[in-house]
Each structure stands twice: as C-alpha cells, then as structure tokens.
Amino acid sequence: MPTSSLPDVASLLVVAVSARALAAAARRAGYVPLVADFFADDDTRDIAHACRKLDNLKRGIQWKTLEPALEALAEEAPSPLLGAICGAGFEDRTPLLAKIGERWPLLGNDPSVVERVKDPQLFFAALSRLGVQHPRTVTDPVAAGDGWLAKRQGGAGGSHVAATPARRKEAGRIYYQEQIEGRPVSALFVGAGDRACVLGFSEQWAAPTKHSKWRYGGAAQPAELSAELKAHLSEQVVQVAATFGLKGLGSADFLVHGEKAYLLEINPRPGATLDIFDSEADPLLRTHLAAVLEQRLPDGPLGLSEASAAAIVYATEPLSVSQSMVWPEWTADRPNCGDCIDRNRPICTVSARARTKVEAKQLVSERISTVLAACAGQEGGTEWT
C-alpha cells in the first residue's frame, strides 16, 4: 500500500449493537476508541478510553439515547476526533447514520449507499444485470414458493430468517428468498468507491434453536475453495462493490455448492469476521480508513500465516455472572459481574488459532463446552485449556 497520510494519533467514535470487536480493531490500528453499544462488556470497558451503554436492545439503536452518548464520548476524546465508525445495528435505520454524519465525519458508507445495498429489489436487480448468481428473491409473499425463506430487510445475525409461513402475515420490511443448498462462505473486502479488493474468505456456521434455525454461530478462515472459485468470487465482489460505490470494510455472503456460488447479501460495514482476520502486523482499521478517507486499497489479500476461528457461546439456561467467574484470554465480549443472561442469549465469544481451519474450529468447539461448564459451576480458579 502506498504511503499513508492518516494521523498516527486520533480518537474514534465506535458505535454498534456490540462494539467490542471494532474497539479492539481500533486499538490494534493505534487509535483511541470511544464506545457506545448495548452491552458495555467488561473487556469493552478495558479496551475503550470511554464507554456508554445504550438502553433497550429490543428496540434497537435510537437517536434519543445515542445522541447524548456520542456527545458525552466526544467530549472525553483525549486526541483529535477523526469521526465515527458504525458497525452492526444501522442496516435498517439509515436515517440514524445521516444524523451521525451531520455531527461528525462518518467513516464508512453514506446512508444512501447502505439503503441501496439493503433494498432487496434494487440489490438483486443489480445482481441480475451484472450476471451474478443469486437465489430468486421477491417482496410479495404470494410470489414466494414453498420452502422459501422470509428475511427482514436490514436484518443481521441470522435470527431474523424464518420459514416462509411464519412470516407471511408479518408487517414490515420482509422479503422472500428461495432456499438453496450450500455452505456459507463470506468474502471480506475493502472498497474505495469505484474499486475494491478481496482480503480473504471464511466459512460460517449456524447455532440453531427451535425457533431460529439460522442463528449465527461462528466463522473460521481460510475457507476451503478452489483457486478458480476464489478468483471468480473475488471478481464478482469487486464488480458489485464498485457498482454500489462501497467504501471501507465489508463482507459478501455466499452459499457455495460445489463450484457454484450464490450471493445472498452484502454487509456494508466491518462485521463479525474482524476477530479472525485482524492482526497487529496488518491492522484492518487502518486499511478501512485508508480506503474511506484516501481511496487507497491494499495490493492484495491478507497474508495470514495461521488459521483462526471465533464463535459465540449462547446460554443453554438462564444465568447470572458471579464474582468467582474467571475469563481466559481466548474469550471476548465478557459480561460484567452480576449480569443476568437469558437462555439462548450470548454469553461471550471464544476464539482460537491453529495450523488448519479444521483444528481451529475444533478448538473453538471445545472452548464453547468449557465456558458452558464453567458458567454452570462458576467456581473460582477454573483451569482453562
């Protein structure tokens, strides 16, 4: 990448439903994160210079609570404030992005760009014009076939996906998509408006429940793809990103079946795979800012030497976090002492690095079991592996 003129010292407003991963990425990039999210987890508070907890997760991000939180954080900035980076939580409420952009530089995609990418009629029509394969998608429930899926426009995390009959009578921004067999593969990319670069591929998996079959479980890299398919998917991602003028980090979610791939959606923001792709040697937030502020892209994919995986640990029963709970270094998004966590809600994130993706995913699975056992016992001095 050419020489950067990005400041070496600056503060960043970081806001998302859960902002720990973005805050950690900001620290790795050398910046000071000022965080607003719904959890204010123990490690998020350690990472952030200042942290504000937003109210009412069920209602999502609201301006009446977000504005005073961001104003207070901005006043606490210990260095020049570069602007605001927004993670998950704004895909279905772009007017809030516009309000943030009126007060501070918006270090990501413009609200109009996010709106277009998340509009199923505009997005899939564009894919058809570009010749990018995708599942058949409609907004009229009558036109949806048997076995199709219902998805909420701007939804994230998989929990909004349901079998079509469950959503036929639901009001709101729902669209319907043909269900296709395949393994979920995500392409991490960075865009600079009219250009883009794919940084790497990961495989994802679900953590299903009775009422949420497609709930996000975790991700691991590198994805197992042929060189030809990688090149094909990269070409498609670059084409779509340039068509919509995407800026900064984003991800493109595919279903891969053999050598065929179907594009499901674009997430126009830094996403869930930050934990498995980011590193001290090549901080992704600097790549993001260089693309957004200077329209500069890296020379090619990330040169990662290890495989890595990360997964969410969901509570199997309601629990309250006690003072005796000891969290190992391979956990993140650690709840605070006294937090009450309902069944099927996230407890924390676990991660692992290994020689291969299979080994990293297996280690993550073992660590999920270890955390659940420790939460059940909550005995101090637990020996973590």
Answer whether residue 4 is part of any domain: no
Output the pTM of the full model: 0.93
Q: Is residue 232 over pLDDT 70?
A: yes
Q: Are 205 and 215 in contact (CB under 8 A)?
A: no
Does residue 329 share a domain with residue 192? Answer: no
CA distance 237 to 251: 9
Q: What is the mean pLDDT of residues 233-251?
A: 98
Query: pLDDT tens-digit profile of 178-225?
Result: 999 999 999 999 999 999 999 999 999 999 888 888 899 999 999 999
Is 382 inside a domain boundary?
Answer: no
Can you give the pLDDT at residue 383?
40
DSSP, residue by residue, 238-253: HHHHHHHT-EEEEEEE
* Residue 17 clears pLDDT 70, i.e. is over it: yes
Q: Looking at residue 264, what is its pLDDT?
A: 96
Task: Let me know whether 321 and 247 are in one domain.
Answer: no
Whether residue 372 lies inside any domain: the answer is: yes
- The CATH code of the domain that includes 68 is 3.40.50
pLDDT value at 378 more than 90: no
Q: What is the pLDDT of residues 20-46, one digit of tens each?
A: 999 999 999 999 999 999 999 999 999
- CB burial of 333-345 (b: ≥16 within 10 Å; e: otherwise) equals bbbeeeeebeebe
Q: 340 lies in which domain range?
A: 307-377
- Same-domain pairing of 150 and 285: yes
122 and 86 in a common domain: no
Burial of 239 (0-12, 13-18, 19+ CB in 10 A): middle
Do 134 and 220 lie in one domain? The reply is yes
> Would you say residue 163 lies in a domain?
yes
90 and 34 within one domain: yes
Structure tokens at 142: 């009558």
Among 294, 325, 346, the domain-final residue is 294
Instruction: Please tell me whether residues 93 and 223 are part of one structural domain.
Output: no
74-78, 114-118, 159-163 — which is least confidently predicted? 159-163
pLDDT top residue among 323 and 127 = 127
Whether residue 288 is contained in a domain is answered as: yes
Q: Report pLDDT digits (tens) over 194-205.
A: 999 999 999 999
What's the domain count of the chain? 3
Q: How confident is the model at residue 384 (pLDDT cuts 50, 70, 90)?
A: very low
Q: Quick one: 143 and 218 in the same domain?
A: yes
Q: Which pLDDT belongs to residue 348?
A: 97
Contact (Cβ atoms closer than 8 angstroms) between residue 203 and residue 183: yes
User: Do residue 166 and residue 250 come from a single domain?
Assistant: yes
Domain boundary among 294, 321, 350: 294
Would you say residue 157 has pLDDT above 70?
A: no
Q: Please check whether residues 155 and 271 belong to one and the same domain.
A: yes
Assigned domain for 335 exists: yes
Asked whether residue 371 is domain-assigned, the answer is yes
Q: How far is CA 377 from the centre of its chain?
A: 31
Residue 219: which CATH number? Answer: 3.30.470.20
Q: Where are the alpha helices (DSSP H) in 269-332?
A: 274-277, 284-294
Looking at the structure, do residues 88 and 182 belong to the same domain, yes or no?
no
Cβ-in-10-Å burial (0-12, 13-18, 19+) of 135 comes to middle
187 backbone dihedrals φ, ψ, rounded to 5°: -105, 120
Q: Report pLDDT for 377.
A: 76
Boundary residue ending a domain (294, 318, 335): 294
pLDDT at position 156 over 80: no
In a domain, 254, yes or no: yes
Q: How confident is the model at residue 167 (pLDDT cuts 50, 70, 90)?
A: very low
The arithmetic mean of pLDDT across residues 353-377, rounded, is 95
Do 184 and 234 have their domain in common? Answer: yes
**SS3 per residue for 130-198:** HCCCCCCEECCHHHCCCCCEEEECCCCCCCCCEEHHHHCCCCCCEEEECCCCCEEEEEEEEEECCCEEE
Whole-number pLDDT of residue 324 = 84
Average confidence (pLDDT) over 237-262: 97
